Structure 1
Amino acid sequence: MNTSVDRAPSEGRPPQKYFPGIIGGMGPLAHTTFEQILIEQSMKRGGRRDQDHPLWLLLNAADVPDRTDCLLGKAEGCISRLIAHGRFLESAGVDFLVIPCNTAHAFYEEVRLHLGIPWIHLIDCATQFLLENHPGIRKIGILATNGTLRAGLYPASLTEAGLTPVSLEPDSKLQRLLMDTIYDLGWGIKATGSQISPSAQENLEAAVEHLAKQGAEIVIAGCSELSVGFYETDTLALPWIDPLEIMANITLDLAFGRRSLPVARPSTKRQKCAKVDNSMKQPAIVSRTREYYNSDEVLSFQRLIYDNSDHCSIGLYDGNESIHDAMRHTVEKMASRLALDASGVVLDLGAGYGGAARHLARTAGCFVDCLNLGEGQNRRNRELNKEQRLESQIRVMEGSFEEIPAEEGSYDVAWSQDALLFSSDHRKVFREVHRVLKKGGHFIFTDPMKSDDCPDEVLGPILARIHLDSLSSFSLYRNSARTIGFEEVEMIPLPGQLTEHYRRLLEKMDAHHEDFVAACGGDYTGHQHRGLAHWVAAGEKGYLDWGILHFRKPGFGKTP
């Protein structure tokens, strides 16, 4: 058997880094649905021809005994068959496994020890999706087979993540009806496929309505056949998520190198799904920054001052353009220094509302991870991504750039606008960025800085307002970059733009003072006005600096 895999890119498709193997047949409808979703999600990412989609290898493992029967002691052989099929795909050259059957994950721990490639954990990835995309939801409804419920797969994963699972009682009438909806040989989904019977639809609606009455805010389709049924049922009492769609997007991310491949035998939950770990203890400045950007006053102020723009960083002014247009010009100028295309993966540090990320995703076709502390900004970022159909290209993560939740060599570009000043340790940030960049990767950013000859004592009013001890400078950033191992690409000093930007914001506050007081309160409005005045005064005296800083990690990579 020829096990070599051609990973070279087809014309218009980025190079494929990893080769997925799918263990299907549990049941066959589950894996055909999963493949259909894979194609649909690939098309959302720009796939238009056969050659634009990734290679994968499917094994229709219809000989695996019923997973629920095995868990209930009515059959045996699941573990041995899963090991055999996993090893077969491994010998064929696949780099990782996905199994579109929820209940099969009850055997995950026993099976993975006998494999030399990772099995991506469907249940944990669904939990991680909820944390990242529905951070305000705490009560999660679960509909699943008796085997999945008795194995406690979703409750264990959700509870560990701080979420509250809500499910049907295993011996209840509704659960028996749900099992019939899946298994009945006459009208069950396994028998009818996507032609969902009226009885199946009625049972799905009743089960979801019951979970809603129990306080559930969203439902997980914890069985592959239920995903099929939900797609054909329009009148559900709650929104729902499809683990198959989540797994399809993770499969595409892994195939094209957007995510790092987990280890084959993970010892932690994070490794099963390359999860974002937000549990680390953060420095005081990070905590203050998170608290500040989560406040209602800040969110209201930014909506007013930026006219609800999705940009919130310093702009480039060349006349009478609006603040929004000036901020967009900064993004365009920074992007022009890079050679991004559809194969690129970008990390946006302190991404705010995601304006830069959407610009890069639209114009270059690349993928962007937005790392940001503010939950309100992240929520709006996700909403805008969904509205503009960019959610498959942009991932929003809550976290600090002092502890970047990514593996070594994950990104082609690290990008940041006016956020690094909120770090307590700039060299630590540079080390983290250096770690997660690929060889030849670029680090480009802007930041409010002090001039190289600025006396330390003159910036007191500015630093006190934003709870900082100091500002960096061009020379300090250059020295940090050189010490960590970066090569300097270019420095573009633009100090007058910072002063002009804050002057424009101050003028807007004066022109709409009553609106700001009504939205943010008098005390906060006065505090912001005084703060902006300090920035303008220091800028006019030549004590402040700003511009574009561009560095490169040595090694082979794209050139700007």
Structure 2
Amino acid sequence: MKNSTYEKVAGILGGMGPEATVDLLNRIIQLTPATDDNDHVRCIIDNNPKVPSRIKALIEHVGENPGPCMAEMAQKLEEWGADFLCIPCNTAHYYYDYANNAVSIPVVNLIDLTVKHVLETNPEIKRVGVLCSTAVISTKLYENGFGEMNVEVIYPEESFQTSLLEVIKSIKAGDTGAEVQSSFANIVTNVIEQGSELIVIACTELGIISNNVSFPLADATKILAEEIIARAKHV
């Protein structure tokens, strides 16, 4: 039986997309206070790029439901020894209940975690810009959380949101070059000009290229990495 000093093992439902999963692992490593290998967090990662496309299912309405695949991944990670699970994909949280209901261990909800972090660190905030996939907009994942606290969610205007989806697709294809970064900078400017007081990076792909943004940010990937470390080490 695991005792109270046992360091918990994180299970990661990865591959949505693969580079975003690697980015999360890098952040866990970078944010963990460590002087030796043993100080780092043990992670069991199912880096599964074969999860059915969330974009095809939610936007194009032609794709397979990703939920059952995510549930199977969650069960396997529990069997392999994970003490808690996380899903480093904002869009996939539309299917959160599939994973959560498939296991007996906790599943971190990235949307709830990010909203809570923003509200706790910015208690007076009234307008939040959210950069995310179009599927997250259509499912109102962030609007529901922020709306309960009367915080307005601002998205890029339609043409900029179309560009943002192309940026996300480019990053998934391995392109993080100057053109992609320039397009992203223009999108950031658009939500700032609409009155955003802070921008939530609510797509794990976007976290890969958001390091140079000087405007106040809440990066969901960084928030998740910090939560994983805290849970693993009982902080």
Preserved CA contact (<8 Å) 2:99 2:107: no
What is the DSSP-based 3-state SS (H/G/I as helix, E as strand, rest coil) of the residue aligned with 1:224?
coil
Q: CA deviation at 1:221?
A: 0.8
1:15 Cα deviation after fit: 4.0
Query: In structure 1, which of residues 173, 176, 191 is the aligned counterpart of residue 173 of structure 2?
Result: 191
Q: 1:23 aligns with which of 13, 21, 36?
A: 13
Distance 2:99 2:171 in 1: 28
Q: 1:240 aligns with which of 211, 217, 220?
A: 217
User: What residue in structure 2 maps to residue 214 of structure 1?
Assistant: 194
For each residue in 1:220-246, what CA deviation from the matched residue of structure 2 results, as whole angstroms up to 9, or x when unmatched?
111111110112xx2x46221111111
Q: CA deviation at 1:18?
A: 2.2
Using the TM superposition, give the Cα deviation of residue 142 of structure 1 relative to its aligned residue in structure 2, in angstroms.
Answer: 0.4
The answer as to 2:208 corresponding to 1:252 is no
Q: 1:137 aligns with which of 103, 125, 150?
A: 125
Structure 1: distance between partners of 2:100 and 2:87:
12
- Give yes or no for the alignment of 1:63 onto 2:63: no
Find the counterpart in structure 2 of residue 152 from structure 1: 140
Distance across 1 between alignment mates of 2:167 and 2:95: 24
| Distance of 1:21 and 1:36 partners within structure 2 | 15
Distance 1:239 1:69 in 2: 32
- Determine which of 48, 52, 59 is the counterpart of 2:39: 52
**How far apart, CA to CA, are the structure 2 residues paired with 1:136 and 1:238?**
17
Matched, 1:89 2:77: yes
Aligned counterpart, 2:115? 127
Counterparts of 1:67 and 1:48, CA distance in 2: 39
Deviations 1:350-382 (A, max 9, x none): xxxxxxxxxxxxxxxxxxxxxxxxxxxxxxxxx
Tell me if the contact between 2:155 and 2:161 (Cα under 8 Å) persists in the aligned partners: no
Q: Write the distance in 1 (CA, Å) between the matches of 2:45 and 2:129.
A: 31
Which residue of the partner structure matches residue 175 of structure 1?
Answer: 161
Partner of residue 182, structure 2: 202
Match of 1:228 among 181, 197, 208: 208
Query: Which secondary structure state, in structure 1, belongs to the residue aligned with residue 172 of structure 2?
Result: helix
Structure 1 residue 117 displacement after superposition: 1.6
Show the 5 A alignment for 1:455-494.
none
1:78 aligned partner? 66
Q: Does the C-alpha gap of structure 1 residues 216 and 84 become closer, same or farther in structure 2, counting only changes over 3 Å?
A: same
Retained in 1: the 8 A contact 2:9–2:81? yes
In 2, the alpha carbon distance for the partners of 1:133 and 1:36 equals 24
1:113, CA displacement in angstroms? 2.0
Q: Which has the higher contact order (CA 8 A, sep 6+)?
A: 2
Query: Is 1:20–1:55's contact at 8 Å kept on the other side of the alignment?
Result: yes
CA distance in 2, matches of 1:59, 1:192: 20
Question: Which letter does structure 2 place at the counterpart of 1:243?
Answer: A
Query: Do 2:11 and 2:77's aligned partners in 1 also have CA atoms closer than 8 Å?
Result: yes
Secondary structure of the structure 2 residue equivalent to 1:90: helix
Distance 1:203 1:69 in 2: 23
Task: State whether structure 2 residue 13 is matched by structure 1 residue 33.
Answer: no
Contact persistence 1:205–1:237 (CA under 8 A)? no
Q: What is the alpha-carbon distance in structure 2 between the residues aligned to residue 122 and residue 18 of structure 1? A: 18
Q: Which runs of 5+ in 1 are unaligned?
A: 9-13, 259-560
Percent sequence identity over aligned pairs: 28
8 A Cα contact 1:209 1:237, kept in partner:
no
How far apart are the structure 1 equivalents of 2:134 and 2:87? 19
Q: TM-score, normalised on structure 1?
A: 0.40
Q: Work out which of the two has the higher radius of gyration on C-alpha atoms and give 1 or 2.
A: 1
Alignment partner of 2:12: what SS? strand
Distance 1:245 1:206, change over 3 A: same
CA contact (8 A) 1:209 1:238 kept: no
* One-letter identity of the residue aligned with 2:173: A
- The one-letter amino acid paired with 1:159 is G
- Alignment deviations for residues 467-492 of structure 1 (CA, whole Å, 9 cap, x no partner): xxxxxxxxxxxxxxxxxxxxxxxxxx
For residues 277-311 of structure 1, the C-alpha deviation after alignment (integer angstroms, 9 at most, x for no partner) is xxxxxxxxxxxxxxxxxxxxxxxxxxxxxxxxxxx
- Partner of 1:140: helix, strand, or coil? strand
